[in-house]
Structure 1
C-alpha cells in the first residue's frame, strides 16, 4: 500500500471515529467541501463524504511517525475539554487499528466552532 493510500485509510478511519463521538456536530468544512455542497444542491449530484479539511494526516519527516490533526465543530452544552479528550482517544485508536502504530506525537484536536 502506498503512503498516500495509508494516509487516506487513516483519515477515513479517523473521520468515522470522530463523527461517532458524542458532542461532535461535524468536521470543519474546507473550501472544496463548501463548493461541492453547492454543486450537489444546484445539480442534484450525488453527495460524497468529504472531510479532508477536517482531518489532516501526514508523516513526520524527522521521525517517520504519523501526525494527525482534527478540526471539529461541537454541539453547545457539552464541555469542549471533555469532547476533545474523547475525540483524541477515538482518533488515536483509529490510527492504531489501521496502521498498528501509535499516532505520534499524538493527535491534535482544534475546536473551530459551536452550534
Structure 2
C-alpha cells in the first residue's frame, strides 16, 4: 500500500473510532469543511469528508504518527472525559494497525464545543 493510501485509511479509521464514542456529537470540520460550495457534497465514506476533524502526519517513518482531533462533545458528559476516551481509543486503534511499532501515535484531542 502506498503512503497516501495508508494515510487515507488511517484517517478514515480514526474518524470512525472517534465518531462512534459515546459523548462525541461530531468531528469539527476545519476551514475547508466550513466553506460552502455550489458543488454537491462528497459521499460520507470518502477520506476528505472523514478527515474533517482529524489531522494525521508522520514526518518520517521512524517517528510516531501525530494525530490531532477536533470534536464537539455532548453537553451531558464532561468534555475532559470525552477527550480522554477519544485519545485512548485512537491510541489503541493505531497500535492495533501498527503492532510492530513501540510508540505508534502521539494523539491530541481538542473539544471545541458542547451541544
TM-score normalised by the chain length of structure 2: 0.79
Is the contact made by 2:67 and 2:107 (CA closer than 8 Å) also made in structure 1?
yes
Distance 2:28 2:84 in 1: 18
Aligned to 2:109: 109
- The aligned counterpart of 1:71 is 70
TM-score normalised to the size of structure 1? Answer: 0.79
**Separation in structure 2 between the aligned mates of residue 97 and residue 62 of structure 1, nearest angstrom:** 17
Native 8 Å contact 1:54 1:71 kept in 2:
yes
Point out where structure 1 has 5 or more consecutive residues left out of the alignment: none
Residues 37 and 23 of structure 1: CA distance in aligned 2, closer, same or farther (over 3 Å): farther
Point out 4+ residue stretches in structure 1 off by more than 3 angstroms.
34-40, 60-63, 101-104
Size of the aligned set, in residue pairs, is 110
Calculate the aligned-residue CA RMSD, in Å: 2.3
